[in-house]
A and B are shown apart, each in its own frame.
Chain A
């Protein structure tokens, strides 16, 4: 059966006209447009020749007619993916790109724009102005729906274990919007001041700026906004939802437990944290030395969690002071185990039980709890992680004369943060890589020396790091007073009683569901080091957050898994060309001599200026930063970040192509200086400039200095009628330039224009009169010449056109304030893929081929597929409109 509907591809003037005519003939039309709005190129024009009608004024009613017509269905921001079938019965698959805006809800008010921190070059304004990442294609857009330019999730956010909207807060900080940035961070991370100091910042490792010069110092700028809040009179306390009666217990006040408490409290649950140690913070407090993470920072961030209603009981040991069974009896609906890994792993070498062997974490805990620990003068710290660095630097600060580090792999493999290693060396502490202790030698039950073996690097192991291989016979002995192993930690599970049925892995970690973190006890969840073994703060935070989600679901009685376990794909192929080299801001530190004898914080933090400058280095990988400011700003609740690309299939009897044109890139015509001489612009750029709704509100301004030009020079056939570029004539440029010269004179009666042309092709109705009026009334001079080049007068900074005068055959040079290049108009690049999908042929230039122009000027090489407008050949608006109506009549004939 013949399908009556028709698919029109391209929502410019031709596509719109074809749609309206078909619809008026009673044929259902699907009008497909790849841009967010219909309107096409004509929407970019200020006026139209030869009547100087305001382009938008005559176009807008057409756009609205399309939108309101009962037989026209607009499918904007969409592209064809496949066409099957044959004339009379096609199936067209359409991919509707995600706008991230609900078209039904968006009312086009534009309140979302205000807060958007991302600006990008505005394509609609031919690159002359900027727009935000959330934008309406142009003010009169139809549909008047906004769209979010969202290339994808930035690598920093995808890589962050907690998936903080890193690009978002960096963008907000770049605008000095610190409080908003902090709120955004605190959506995903309750401990930003802590993380701003100790996070291993995987975000920075994947930062695309690193491909330009160096990664953005993300962690430090986060620290700045977090500190700013902690130092402010009123700190930001996230809003807590209506208080619930349900209770949850959390075991362990480390980052995992605190995070879990924070998110549960936000939901309104009553949360109690039980902590074995006399202090809160877990490893943050007893594992990390104060010179890296001051106690008042930890306490301040924990205080906010307390302010949200979380109760923390310290010095309570589960399994001893209170059991899991008792917690259950006290009507705790769920329990989160975030007990960390505080027990040092043993080296498993001879002599480990000697006096003077002191596990690193134990050492740090004792010191951090204010106890005195005496190690001697010469101390070997074994390991290459942060605990090893912290231990050795703490030892230095406690007066140990010769602390040093032994590490079995090379420096590159050290898992400690780079800056920790750097600071360690600044403090004069030696690190001996490729050195593995094999035996601790004692005398009278006390450590005297350590025997080591030299190593070399072999093949990579399962962690991807190269495996250390011993060098035979390389044993040597180092005299030491103490040995501090810092090679990893494990958990103490004595809290679990027989009432628990949860199980441990072979590594001594808790077995949990990887997504929900639920243990074998349905009401017990676990996360952080207790599940993963010793890892990072941010991973523990994420685990606490995920557990909180699970607990909330459990209590509400909904499915624990639904919609979770998202795989974060970072955006790829981010353009990195054209960025100026700006070095990463260095973190100011206390001088080594002023820090090695005390526990003052080493890193001093960025100033506001440094923070903002650093944030501005971000290259906005995802375009949209996912700061969600628009979500809050939109009162119509139309912003939907979950929107996905959608596919639909349409049954149509015919297809009409109206894909219009693109602007030829004039950069390769280096003789004319575009891109090199600032005041050489393209005709489309000029059009946007002179348009009242354009970036300069209709004022002519030289791009170089903003000065109002007095003399304009137009060069015609730039890329057209040129065998090196496009052989054909672009058909509209003679009149286009004439119109622009007239408009310029109308704006500024003092202004004169000179048009350099080959043939003045004023062939349409009223065109000759238009050119005559341009000469006689608007001070437009026409010179028949093909200029050879445009240079810059260094003194006046004006562009100069060089040409041969065809009347006196002299070489001449004329200086102008601004030069406008009438660039060639070319078939859209998308013709290639569209033609392939449709199975129609293109001509040598990429226009839709018209095989029998005299018999069927609307036909293509495939039956049932028709073409109209500029996609067939260069033509002006009336000709495009005529071709569009004609194609509509042909379609009606075929479908009749």
Chain B
């Protein structure tokens, strides 16, 4: 069947029409090869314009459509859908941007703009005739999720997914659920025992029909892509495979042990906040003078990040100490009080009200710990506001340290092709707007594995990651535009550039048989993982990788059309 192209050129009111001589471009477009219909529209995107496109597809038997108007960012879906309504495959549509790319930038050069508009339309027409129909890609998504980590984030994610009716495989490295919180005595800001919060949650998870908990389990390998992952796990001395549709990484983090800092290794009564909570568990007898030092191992040149909630942890333990014994002297040495937001600022006020003393120290004059034998008893600190050094008595010195990444983050990163940042925490797809997603589809992140995060935030992130995982599972399928890369096996020289460059890990090696006896390794694109970014196509030296909708042939046709 012969190519029959319709070209619809939009005035966009005067946005295009005020600069570009649209009737002239319409007339010109009619002279281009295979163009059988042209028209100018006041607004092609209005119902008038859209119905005209549909009518012409039918009457003129158009099998290619070019709309020359504004930006594809907002309008391409509209026009593609419109073509589909008229029975034309949407991949046979080409968009030319005469507004952002022409009239708006050449407002003062009307003749030149008209010439450029003709060039752009000619390029569009050259390309559209080479386009071929395609169908959107669709893959099935299993309605089950693998959650790695049974801390508060993982538990929250597991519960909400299970309550929504999805099957959950919850993987826990240890022999019990609850993660780091297990070691925490009480939780701020209500100061209730941690077990009040976590025990009911664990019990619900354990009893839930939709959740299978794997204790002392380790993830060995993950294969597949969104909708169809296969996870190999090791548990009870055996290995097994799990088929899941989505994965949530909630492996948590560890408290920094401040080796070599502030006498931590010298004195037995110098400890971290978590160690303090485990050691004393609410019985603070014998503690009359307590000094806490914040920002230990945080906000330094070596460890630049802030632990986010360590200040609040210190305040919590200080308040508990003061509540147990109002006569106790509790001093927090701090650099900035990170009581951000509403609840924590209130908590800070509460701490000051119960008599916790806050003393600011600076990094150039760090506090000094002195002691006798293996027992610390004095802390010297320079008080900036008073302008002199203070000597504080100390029955215990508590070092407030941040969380540090879990030890096997790097392994998981390699296994699932999910990135970690400089500090060793996992890196989300976008810090602002995709905080619980990874660039790879179907894998999500929650809690302290991403960055130190307090309890409410962990719960929120667990739920948020669950929402992301639930989306494809609720639909049962993922549909992607067919604009993806494809490798021509004959042309592929197996150089590996595309395998390396693909940011989504969508290209892998595969063996193809070249004769009954011989096979050859070539690159192959996994359709479900390809995002159509085109890096592979651009980097392929043999022109073996072609991106649908942007093939070399199509782009060269546009280039030829420009220079002709």
Measured between beta carbons, the chain B residues less than 8 angstroms from A635 are: 13, 42-43
* Beta-carbon contact of A857 and B464 below 8 Å: no
Please tell me if A500 contacts chain B, counting CB pairs below 8 Å.
no
* Beta-carbon contact of B344 and A729 below 8 Å: yes
- Give the contacting residue for A857; candidates B197, B339, B456; CB below 8 A: B456
Residues 454-502 of A contacting B (Cβ, < 8 Å): none
* Beta-carbon contact of A886 and B387 below 8 Å: no
* Beta-carbon contact of A58 and B432 below 8 Å: yes
Measured between beta carbons, the chain A residues less than 8 angstroms from B459 are: 854, 857, 886
* Beta-carbon contact of B432 and A765 below 8 Å: no
A854-B187, A878-B431, A885-B464 as given contacts; A64 in contact with B74, CB under 8 Å: yes
CA distance A69 to B304 in the complex (A): 41
Measured between beta carbons, the chain B residues less than 8 angstroms from A884 are: 464
* Beta-carbon contact of B15 and A109 below 8 Å: yes
* Beta-carbon contact of B306 and A762 below 8 Å: yes
Please tell me if A230 contacts chain B, counting CB pairs below 8 Å.
no
* Beta-carbon contact of B474 and A879 below 8 Å: no
CB pairs A–B below 8 angstroms (11 shown) = A25-B467, A105-B46, A111-B15, A728-B342, A729-B344, A759-B338, A763-B340, A766-B305, A854-B190, A858-B460, A883-B460
CA distance A636 to B44 in the complex (A): 11
Measured between beta carbons, the chain B residues less than 8 angstroms from A26 are: 474-475
Q: B residues touching A (Cβ–Cβ < 8 Å)?
A: 12-15, 42-43, 45-47, 73-74, 77, 160, 163-165, 187, 190, 192, 197, 299, 304-306, 308-309, 336-346, 349, 384-385, 387, 425, 430-436, 450-451, 455-457, 459-468, 470-472, 474-475
Measured between beta carbons, the chain B residues less than 8 angstroms from A68 are: 77
Measured between beta carbons, the chain A residues less than 8 angstroms from B475 are: 24, 26
Please tell me if A642 contacts chain B, counting CB pairs below 8 Å.
no
CA distance A363 to B387 in the complex (A): 101
Please tell me if A768 contacts chain B, counting CB pairs below 8 Å.
yes
Residues 707-744 of A contacting B (Cβ, < 8 Å): 721, 727-729, 731
* Chain A 320-359: CB-based contact to B (< 8 A → 1; otherwise 0): 0000000000000000000000000000000000000000
* Chain A 57-98: CB-based contact to B (< 8 A → 1; otherwise 0): 011111010001000000000000000000000000000000
Please tell me if A1 contacts chain B, counting CB pairs below 8 Å.
no
* Beta-carbon contact of B163 and A893 below 8 Å: yes
Residue of B nearest to A105 (CB): B46
CA distance A845 to B341 in the complex (A): 13
> Nearest chain A CB to B73's CB is how many angstroms away?
7
Measured between beta carbons, the chain B residues less than 8 angstroms from A767 are: 306
* Beta-carbon contact of B387 and A881 below 8 Å: no
Measured between beta carbons, the chain A residues less than 8 angstroms from B74 are: 64, 144
**A109-B14, A759-B337 provided; 5 other pairs, C-beta below 8 A?**
A51-B431, A62-B433, A109-B13, A847-B342, A889-B470
Residue of B nearest to A18 (CB): B467
- Give the contacting residue for B42; candidates A50, A636, A729; CB below 8 A: A636
* Chain A 32-59: CB-based contact to B (< 8 A → 1; otherwise 0): 0000000000000000101101000011
The interface-forming segment of A154-162, A194-202, A869-877 is A869-877
CA distance A790 to B385 in the complex (A): 23
Residue of B nearest to A757 (CB): B336
Please tell me if A253 contacts chain B, counting CB pairs below 8 Å.
no
* Beta-carbon contact of B197 and A854 below 8 Å: yes
- Give the contacting residue for B341; candidates A61, A731, A885; CB below 8 A: A731
* Beta-carbon contact of B339 and A729 below 8 Å: yes
> Nearest chain B CB to A462's CB is how many angstroms away?
56
* Beta-carbon contact of B163 and A896 below 8 Å: yes
A857-B460, A873-B342 as given contacts; A806 in contact with B384, CB under 8 Å: yes
* Beta-carbon contact of B343 and A873 below 8 Å: yes
CA distance A53 to B12 in the complex (A): 30
CA distance A888 to B338 in the complex (A): 29
Measured between beta carbons, the chain A residues less than 8 angstroms from B425 are: 765
* Beta-carbon contact of B464 and A889 below 8 Å: yes
Please tell me if A110 contacts chain B, counting CB pairs below 8 Å.
yes
CA distance A25 to B197 in the complex (A): 28
Measured between beta carbons, the chain A residues less than 8 angstroms from B433 are: 13, 17, 58-59, 62, 877-878, 881
Please tell me if A556 contacts chain B, counting CB pairs below 8 Å.
no
> Nearest chain A CB to B303's CB is how many angstroms away?
9
> Nearest chain A CB to B26's CB is how many angstroms away?
17
* Beta-carbon contact of A890 and B463 below 8 Å: yes
Measured between beta carbons, the chain A residues less than 8 angstroms from B349 are: 727
* Beta-carbon contact of A636 and B471 below 8 Å: no
Q: A residues touching B (Cβ–Cβ < 8 Å)?
A: 13, 17, 21, 24-26, 48, 50-51, 53, 58-62, 64, 68, 104-105, 107, 109-111, 144, 635-636, 721, 727-729, 731, 759-769, 772, 806-807, 809, 843, 845, 847, 853-855, 857-858, 873-875, 877-879, 881-890, 892-893, 896
* Beta-carbon contact of A874 and B432 below 8 Å: no
Residue of B nearest to A845 (CB): B342
Residue of A nearest to B42 (CB): A635
> Nearest chain B CB to A719's CB is how many angstroms away?
13
Measured between beta carbons, the chain A residues less than 8 angstroms from B455 are: 854
CA distance A796 to B462 in the complex (A): 56
CA distance A858 to B467 in the complex (A): 13
> Nearest chain B CB to A514's CB is how many angstroms away?
42
- Give the contacting residue for A107; candidates B45, B163, B436, B470; CB below 8 A: B45
CA distance A471 to B384 in the complex (A): 91
> Nearest chain B CB to A262's CB is how many angstroms away?
33
CA distance A857 to B453 in the complex (A): 14
* Beta-carbon contact of B73 and A769 below 8 Å: no
- Give the contacting residue for B461; candidates A17, A762, A809, A882; CB below 8 A: A882
- Give the contacting residue for A765; candidates B434, B451, B456, B460; CB below 8 A: B451
> Nearest chain B CB to A525's CB is how many angstroms away?
41
* Beta-carbon contact of A885 and B73 below 8 Å: no
- Give the contacting residue for A885; candidates B46, B336, B456, B468; CB below 8 A: B468
* Beta-carbon contact of A886 and B336 below 8 Å: no
- Give the contacting residue for A896; candidates B164, B192, B345, B436; CB below 8 A: B164
* Beta-carbon contact of B460 and A109 below 8 Å: no
> Nearest chain A CB to B301's CB is how many angstroms away?
9
* Beta-carbon contact of A886 and B464 below 8 Å: yes
- Most chain B beta-carbon contacts within 10 A, residue among A636, A766, A882, A887: A882
- Give the contacting residue for A58; candidates B344, B430, B472; CB below 8 A: B430
> Nearest chain A CB to B539's CB is how many angstroms away?
25
- Most chain B beta-carbon contacts within 10 A, residue among A109, A879, A885: A885
- Give the contacting residue for B12; candidates A107, A764, A858, A878; CB below 8 A: A107
* Beta-carbon contact of A882 and B384 below 8 Å: no
Residue of A nearest to B456 (CB): A857
CA distance A765 to B425 in the complex (A): 10
Measured between beta carbons, the chain B residues less than 8 angstroms from A48 are: 432
> Nearest chain B CB to A871's CB is how many angstroms away?
12
> Nearest chain A CB to B358's CB is how many angstroms away?
10
Residue of B nearest to A48 (CB): B432
> Nearest chain A CB to B481's CB is how many angstroms away?
14
Measured between beta carbons, the chain A residues less than 8 angstroms from B456 are: 853-854, 857
Measured between beta carbons, the chain B residues less than 8 angstroms from A809 are: 385, 387
* Beta-carbon contact of A636 and B43 below 8 Å: yes
* Beta-carbon contact of B431 and A886 below 8 Å: no
> Nearest chain A CB to B361's CB is how many angstroms away?
13
Measured between beta carbons, the chain B residues less than 8 angstroms from A53 are: 432
* Beta-carbon contact of A111 and B14 below 8 Å: yes
* Beta-carbon contact of A882 and B299 below 8 Å: no
CA distance A641 to B270 in the complex (A): 75
Measured between beta carbons, the chain B residues less than 8 angstroms from A873 are: 341-343
Measured between beta carbons, the chain A residues less than 8 angstroms from B309 are: 763
Residue of B nearest to A769 (CB): B304
* Beta-carbon contact of A25 and B340 below 8 Å: no
A886-B463, A893-B160, A896-B165 as given contacts; A729 in contact with B471, CB under 8 Å: no
* Beta-carbon contact of A760 and B165 below 8 Å: no
CA distance A508 to B397 in the complex (A): 106
Measured between beta carbons, the chain B residues less than 8 angstroms from A727 are: 345-346, 349
Residue of B nearest to A772 (CB): B304
CA distance A667 to B241 in the complex (A): 65
Measured between beta carbons, the chain B residues less than 8 angstroms from A105 are: 46
Residue of A nearest to B425 (CB): A765
